[in-house]
């Protein structure tokens, strides 16, 4: 079942319910903010105090960082680009069968986007809601000049407690430490005892989020970078829409094209970043 819903403040979202899972996607940012398999705990973390307000990114779920990840060269522009705070068009849904639904969202250049990023583009997000969650973010260059993008499916995973978590699959991978801006190499699994903000490079394998009672697998396609982020105690108190203890309950593992993995897209060409979560 697919329902188009509207909150009293006008905020719109699409709700999907099938025999595998339920999901909710806001039209602002094509932002998936709930995905839960039937009879199981939520996969995505969503801040209890997140704003569902126009022009402000939802804190949690899967914000789309596009057409840049982090800050652009012009530091006055918003961190992580404009796609996550812009209204998208809901193109439609396809109920493949009782257990699998796909949703398609679309964003293209407007007068407003051309002012901050002077390229013509088509951006499409297809989300598949089934036992597996699949997100396919396709960028098409509709301009007559090439452009560069960095991007991320900035997934906030819900965890039992951050002290219980380990991330497998990044051992020996080089990474850029976004706290010191040093290049380092990962030794072993990642565990959390302080703030972590890293862009792993040369990643072409599955990542496993190991929690107390479950494992979540992440498989990325057309991506060689993965961002791992937890703000820890002090940073959390300075983040918007996060309660003081929020850092204990999530970890971000972001399927990305960032830093050395930035992509150039030639006119009429496309690039599709894919994340499968199962
Ligand atoms: C992560 C970055 O991807 O996003 C962090 O690595 C950043 O440095 C975080 O703080 C959250 O960003 P925002 O803009 O959603 O508060």
Q: What is the pLDDT of residues 46-70, one digit of tens each?
A: 999 998 988 999 999 999 999 999 9
Cα 30 from Cα 139, distance rounded (Å): 14
82 pocket-lining for ligand 1 (C-beta < 6 Å): no
Which of 252, 221, 216 shows the shortest CA–CA distance to 43?
A: 216
Pick the catalytic residue from 34, 124, 248, 254: 254
- pLDDT over 90 percentage in the chain: 98
Cα 276 from Cα 162, distance rounded (Å): 22
In this predicted model, what pLDDT tens digit does every residue of 215-253 receive, in sequence order?
Answer: 999 999 999 999 999 999 999 999 999 999 999 999 999
- Cα 164 to averaged position of ligand 1 atoms, centre (Å): 22
Rg (CA), the chain: 18
State which of 181, 229, 253 you would mutate to test the pocket of ligand 1, scoring each by most atoms of that ligand within 8 A of its C-beta: 229
Q: What is the pLDDT of residue 155?
A: 99
State which of 66, 71, 79, 152 you would mutate to test the pocket of ligand 1, scoring each by most atoms of that ligand within 8 A of its C-beta: 79
Ligand 1 atom 16: residue of nearest CA: 239
The number of helices, as runs of H, and strands, as runs of E, in the chain is: 2, 22
Task: Note whether 210 and 168 are within 8 A (CB).
Answer: yes
In this prediction, residues 120-147 reach a mean pLDDT of: 98
3-state SS, residue 163: helix
Cα 249 from Cα 24, distance rounded (Å): 20
Ligand 1 atom 10: residue of nearest CA: 231
State which of 78, 80, 150 you would mutate to test the pocket of ligand 1, scoring each by most atoms of that ligand within 8 A of its C-beta: 80
Task: Note whether 174 and 260 are within 8 A (CB).
Answer: no
User: Where exactly are the structural domains of the chain?
Assistant: 2-277
The angle subtended at Cα 22 by Cα 255 and Cα 256, nearest 5°, is 5
Domain 2-277: give its CATH architecture. Answer: Distorted Sandwich (2.70)
State the closest ligand 1 atom to the C-alpha of 78, by its place in the atom list counted from 1. Answer: 14
256 pocket-lining for ligand 1 (C-beta < 6 Å): no
Cα 34 from Cα 15, distance rounded (Å): 9
4 is catalytic: no
- Cα 229 to averaged position of ligand 1 atoms, centre (Å): 8
Which of 133, 137, 130 shows the shortest CA–CA distance to 107?
A: 137
- CA 90 to centroid of chain Cα atoms: 18
Ligand 1 atom 14: residue of nearest CA: 79
In this prediction, residues 26-52 reach a mean pLDDT of: 97
254 pocket-lining for ligand 1 (C-beta < 6 Å): yes
271 is catalytic: no
Q: What is the pLDDT of residue 51?
A: 83
């Amino acid at each position: 079942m697919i329902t188009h819903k509207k909150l009293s403040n006008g905020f719109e979202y699409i709700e999907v319910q099938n025999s595998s899972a339920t999901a909710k996607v806001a039209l602002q940012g094509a932002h998936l903010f709930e995905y839960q398999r039937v009879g199981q705990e939520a996969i995505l973390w969503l801040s209890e105090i997140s704003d569902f307000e126009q022009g402000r990114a939802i804190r949690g779920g899967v914000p789309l960082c596009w057409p840049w990840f982090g800050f652009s060269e012009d530091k006055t522009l918003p961190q992580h680009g404009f796609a996550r705070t812009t209204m998208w068009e809901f193109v439609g849904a396809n109920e493949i069968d009782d257990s699998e639904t796909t949703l398609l969202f679309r964003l293209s250049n407007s007068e407003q986007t051309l002012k901050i990023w002077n390229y013509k583009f088509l951006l499409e997000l297809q989300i598949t809601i089934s036992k597996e969650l699949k997100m396919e973010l396709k960028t098409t260059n509709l301009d007559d000049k090439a452009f560069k993008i960095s991007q991320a499916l900035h997934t906030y995973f819900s965890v039992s407690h951050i002290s219980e978590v380990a991330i497998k699959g990044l051992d020996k991978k080089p990474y850029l430490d976004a706290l010191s801006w040093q290049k380092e190499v990962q030794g072993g699994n990642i565990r959390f005892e302080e703030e972590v903000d890293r862009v792993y490079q040369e990643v072409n394998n599955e990542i496993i989020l190991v929690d107390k009672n479950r494992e979540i697998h992440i498989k990325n396609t057309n991506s060689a970078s993965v961002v791992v982020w937890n703000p820890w105690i002090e940073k959390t108190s300075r983040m918007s829409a996060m309660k003081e203890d929020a850092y204990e309950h999530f970890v971000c593992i972001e399927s990305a094209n960032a830093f050395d993995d930035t992509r150039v897209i030639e006119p009429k060409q496309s690039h599709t970043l894919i994340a499968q979560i199962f």
